[in-house]
Amino acid sequence: MKTLPDANRRYAIQRLLAITSIASSALWISACGRKLPKAAAIPPGATVLALGDSLTRGVGASAAQAYPALLAERTGWKVVNAGVSGETSSQIAARLPELLQTQRPALVILCAGGNDWLRRNSAQAAQAEIARMLQLCKSQSVPVLLVAVPELNLTAALTGRMKDHPIYEALAKDEKVPLLVDAWSEVLGDDALRADQVHANADGYARFTELLQAQLKASGFLPA
């Protein structure tokens, strides 16, 4: 049996993972018993707000290797990196009203909750804060793509077995927003894609961006 060269084998594995991620998202929508309508495509040059904490900021890599910078390169969008290291969901929520007013985004990519899990804050309180952000965006007719974050704790960090926190599926169902599932769980569960136990490295942010693009296409924000 002929063996593929290492580069080809790695490419094949990456393509399979991307296809699996899209299939997982489709299954999640089906499991919720609903199908969200396709969103309107966001044109090149439009402002997209990447809102979150250190995973959005790009800690563990350079600014040019953070996912907002990579996404801007690949889409032609003006992606504003509004990630602040160490912030909890309530702190992120406090910044959102001014950001919506000053940036006027065509889309918000929301990734919050990781620091709530690290600090063992109430999951119920974090869910309420994220719901408040989703509702504020909806009230201003700004679409949102919600990003699921794994429940970051010592056991998960030591074993490398990451799983999305269940609040994100509940939030996406209740607020009727598209959800990116398993992306950070995949990245942070792979030693080769991490700078430390809770942050990606350059390869990790690149992998996350690939998964994010696939979901943006599946949701309609990017042309397929």
Average pLDDT over residues 201-224: 97
Which of 30, 62, 122, 196 is catalytic? The answer is 196
- pLDDT at residue 44 tops 80: yes
Q: Identify the domain containing residue 199 by its residue range.
A: 6-33+43-219
Structure confidence by residue, pLDDT tens digits, 185-206: 999 999 999 999 899 999 999 9
Question: Domain of 69: which CATH number?
Answer: 3.40.50.1110
Which of 54, 89, 185, 219 is catalytic? The answer is 54
Q: Is 116 a catalytic residue?
A: no
Rounded Cα–Cα distance for residues 205 and 55 (Å): 9
Predicted local confidence at residue 224, as pLDDT: 83
- pLDDT at residue 12 tops 90: no
38 in a domain, yes or no?
no
104 in a domain, yes or no?
yes
Predicted local confidence at residue 152, as pLDDT: 74
Output 153 or 128, whichever has higher pLDDT: 128
Closest CA to 123 of 93, 94, 92, 152: 152
1 in a domain, yes or no?
no
Rounded Cα–Cα distance for residues 172 and 167 (Å): 9
Q: Is 196 a catalytic residue?
A: yes
Predicted local confidence at residue 128, as pLDDT: 98
Structure confidence by residue, pLDDT tens digits, 55-100: 999 999 999 999 999 999 999 999 999 999 999 999 999 999 999 9
Percentage of the chain surpassing pLDDT 70? 81
The backbone region for 199, taken as left when phi is positive above 0, alpha when psi lies in -120 to 50, beta otherwise, is beta
Which of 25, 53, 199, 219 is catalytic? The answer is 199
Predicted local confidence at residue 28, as pLDDT: 41
Mean pLDDT of the chain: 87
Structure confidence by residue, pLDDT tens digits, 14-40: 444 444 444 444 434 433 445 788 999
- The structural domain count of the chain equals 1
